[in-house]
Amino acid sequence: MPRELTQNRIQKIWIPSKDDKPSMPRTSHGGPHLANPPTVIVMVGLPARGKTYMSRKLTRYLNWIGIPTKVFNVGEYRREAVKHYSSYDFFKSDNEDAVKIRQQCALAALRDVKNYLTEEEGQVAVFDATNTTRERRDIILEFGAENGFKIFFIESVCEDPNVIACNILEVKVSCPDYQDCNKTDAVEDFKKRIECYRVNYQPLDPDQYDRNLSFIKVIDVGRRFLVNRIQDHIQSRIVYYLMNIHVQPRTIYLCRHGESQHNLQGRLGGDSGLSTRGRKFAGALAKFVEEQNLKDLKVWTSQLRRSIQTAEALNAPYEQWKALNEIDAGVCEEMTYEEVRERFPEEFALRDQDKYYYRYPSGESYQDLVQRVEPLIMELERQENVLVICHQAVMRCLLAYFLDKSADEMPYLKCPLHTVLKLTPVAYGCKVESISLNVEAVNTHRDRPEEVKRGPSTLIRRNSVTPLTSPEPNKKPRIEGLDDPIMREVTPAQLTLCSTSHTTLALSTQNLKKCSMECHEPPQLCL
């Protein structure tokens, strides 16, 4: 007899009820998971080839779609170990002391990778270092094999001097290594640093030595890609993502439709038209767009009337995307919050308990929204200048992606009516500017209530769509024995016997919720 099902109250997911005896394992950790076993992404390339840029962007994307991912930047371990950077001489291949320190930093980082993937429920670790020699890569491959981690290499190859120079100016000159230098000196020193690496650089060789490895070579900032032996879904998604991102300067504008009739009445959802003030905003938006003087602006709307009406005022072509429609409030559609509280008091309370996971009865949750909106993020990455005219919940999802906000923060991000958020990619992140167009509107934002009892009933699944803020890189990585004048070679095998490092700081920014003990293994949710 199949077991009775019960619908979990927050997420409205059907699961077998607790009182039945589980006759056989219902879920496996062997089902098609996006990233099981854990994966180590290994960056490869000379300095200033965009490794850290890709590491961080990829990590932000993977966390947003719910795959716990973290960057381990070996350069930071080195800065911790060697407090003061003097010059490129540190990177000379014949500088024995330095070579030992650098090796130890790499090994310490690997040890933290292992900890992240085995103890902290991480699924993907991005090992951000040059990894330019076969010797170093072989160590990593051994480490992967010993621990049952999949290894995927991302190599960035670029010889365009303009691109390199631009990178150096954008992120190297301002880096802690050069805080006491002037620009010209910094640039000179960095170029010599690159040469130190170039001497021993052995690129991935798809024809012979590395033909059985899984990797992607990104050539000339995405003009060309070589993809070898993709093993699974997550590697396929990573490759697709890398092939869609670009580094052209551009601006993304996010805003909501103008104030609607329903907004005025405090009603959720529906498909009403603009109020008078909403129309005024549409006109103001048209003027704003014109003043921005952009070449080739794409305008996207949802398929709901209020966002299309807003776009109509712009006198420019626009595209309607159903995926940009506001969150479906199911049975609560078109009610005011008061009506919801009256008619569905329990639902109202549950939503405040866990706004990210909460799914309206016959409706959607923020978690569903992220899944729905992901193809749009991919398309936004491909595009250049875009104005997205959408809705409160949808805009919060998009914003969380660009600003690396966790699932916990997302439903409470402030996205007021009649305000445009202007996002400009800069260095490793996104600059955001909030521009109010000076047209009055109601406030539709509900803050997180003070007194909220966090219930235990949220099921967390390894592969569920739960955006996490990318964890902060370890500020103080522990590197064994570096104060010791005699530097010992520490191999990965020996490292397993060392005391474990602690990376508690990362967890505070992540929204990891544990199942309560009464819960049985939940079924796996796909993306």
Partner 1 sequence: MYHSQMELTQNPLEKIWVPWMSSRLRQRRGSSVPQFTNSPTMIVMVGLPARGKTYISKKLTRYLNWIGVPTKVFNVGQYRRDAVRTYKSYEFFCPDNEEAMKIRKACALAALKDVCCYFTQDHGQVAVFDATNTTRERREVILTFAKENGYKVFFVESLCDDPEIIGENIKQVKLSSPDYVNCDKEEAATDFLKRIDCYKLTYVPLDDDKDRNLSYIKIFNVGSRYLVNQVQDHIQSRIVYYLMNIHVTPRTIYLCRHGESELNLLGRIGGDSGLSSQGMKFAAALGTYIRGQYILDLKIWTSHMRRTIQTAEAIGVPYEQWKALNEIDAGVCEEMTYEEIQDHFPEEFALRDQDKYRYRYPKGESYEDLVQRLEPVIMELERQENVLVICHQAVMRCLLAYFLDKSADELPYLKCPLHTVMKLTPVAYGCEVESIFLNVEAVNTHRDRPMNVDVDRDPEDALLTVPEHN
C-beta of 1: minimal distance to partner 1 in Å? Answer: 8
C-beta of 14: minimal distance to partner 1 in Å? Answer: 5
Element (H, E) at 145: helix 134-147
C-beta of 313: minimal distance to partner 1 in Å? Answer: 5
Catalytic annotation, pick one of 33, 76, 257, 418: 257
Stretch that binds partner 1, among 139-147, 180-188, 217-225, 443-451 (CB under 8 A): 217-225
Determine if residue 257 is labeled as part of a ligand binding site.
yes
Task: Please report whether residue 467 would count as binding partner 1 according to CB under 8 A.
Answer: no
Pick one of 228, 251, 292, 353: the residue that binds partner 1 (CB under 8 A).
228
Task: Please report whether residue 230 would count as binding partner 1 according to CB under 8 A.
Answer: yes
Stretch that binds partner 1, among 180-188, 271-279, 403-411, 436-444 (CB under 8 A): 271-279
My answer on whether omega of the bond before 37 falls inside 30° of 0, hence cis, is yes
* Strands 252-256 vs 419-426: parallel, antiparallel or unpaired: antiparallel
CA pair distance 108, 473, nearest whole angstrom: 13
Site map 15..44 versus partner 1, x via CB under 8 A: -x------xxxxxx-xxx------------
Strand segments, DSSP code E, in 101-211 are 124-128, 150-157
In sign, the C-alpha dihedral spanning 200, 201, 207, 209 is: positive
C-beta of 489: minimal distance to partner 1 in Å? Answer: 36
Task: Please report whether residue 491 would count as binding partner 1 according to CB under 8 A.
Answer: no
Site map 343..362 versus partner 1, x via CB under 8 A: -------------------x
Task: Please report whether residue 225 would count as binding partner 1 according to CB under 8 A.
Answer: yes
Stretch that binds partner 1, among 1-9, 96-104, 131-139, 427-435 (CB under 8 A): 1-9
C-beta of 43: minimal distance to partner 1 in Å? Answer: 19
Given the complex with partner 1, which of 283 and 429 has the nearer CB atom?
283
Given the complex with partner 1, which of 25 and 161 has the nearer CB atom?
25
CA angle 241/381/318 to nearest 5° reads 140
Q: Give the closest residue to 46 by CA, choosing from 244, 193, 181.
A: 193
Catalytic annotation, pick one of 76, 155, 326, 409: 326
Stretch that binds partner 1, among 233-241, 345-353, 396-404, 475-483 (CB under 8 A): 233-241
The DSSP symbol for 296 reads S
Task: Please report whether residue 231 would count as binding partner 1 according to CB under 8 A.
Answer: no
CA pair distance 307, 262, nearest whole angstrom: 13
C-beta of 194: minimal distance to partner 1 in Å? Answer: 25
Residue type, 275: S
CA angle 129/135/136 to nearest 5° reads 20
Q: Give the closest residue to 246 by CA, choosing from 169, 165, 163.
A: 163
Stretch that binds partner 1, among 112-120, 151-159, 166-174, 267-275 (CB under 8 A): 267-275
Q: Give the closest residue to 138 by CA, choosing from 213, 234, 39, 235.
A: 213
CA pair distance 18, 485, nearest whole angstrom: 59
Given the complex with partner 1, which of 243 and 515 has the nearer CB atom?
243
Residue type, 158: C
C-beta of 91: minimal distance to partner 1 in Å? Answer: 31
Given the complex with partner 1, which of 161 and 485 has the nearer CB atom?
161
**Tokens for 205?**
């060789």
Residues paired with residue 42 on neighbouring β-strands, in sequence order: 127, 153
CA pair distance 260, 38, nearest whole angstrom: 47
Residue 489 a catalytic site member = no
Residues paired with residue 388 on neighbouring β-strands, in sequence order: 254, 300
Q: Find the binding residues for partner 1 in span 437-456 (CB under 8 A).
A: none
241 Cα distance to chain centroid = 12
Exposed / middle / buried, residue 342 (Cβ in 10 Å: 0-12, 13-18, 19+): exposed
Which pairs from 131-138 meet CB under 8 Å and 24+ separation? 131/42, 131/43, 131/44, 131/45, 132/44, 132/45, 132/46, 132/197, 132/200, 132/201, 132/202, 133/200, 133/201, 133/202, 134/202, 134/209, 136/106, 137/42, 137/44
Residue 29 a catalytic site member = no
C-beta of 211: minimal distance to partner 1 in Å? Answer: 8
Given the complex with partner 1, which of 27 and 179 has the nearer CB atom?
27
Given the complex with partner 1, which of 100 and 233 has the nearer CB atom?
233
Stretch that binds partner 1, among 47-55, 122-130, 304-312, 475-483 (CB under 8 A): 304-312
Contact 102, 129 (CB under 8 A): no
Determine if residue 261 is labeled as part of a ligand binding site.
yes
Residues that bind partner 1 (CB under 8 A): 2-3, 5, 7, 12-14, 16, 23-28, 30-32, 206, 223-230, 233, 236, 239-240, 243-244, 271, 273-274, 279, 282-283, 286, 301, 303-305, 308-313, 315-323, 333, 362, 368, 371, 375, 379, 382, 523-527
Which residues line the annotated binding site for substrate?
Answer: 256-263, 306
Catalytic positions are: 257, 326
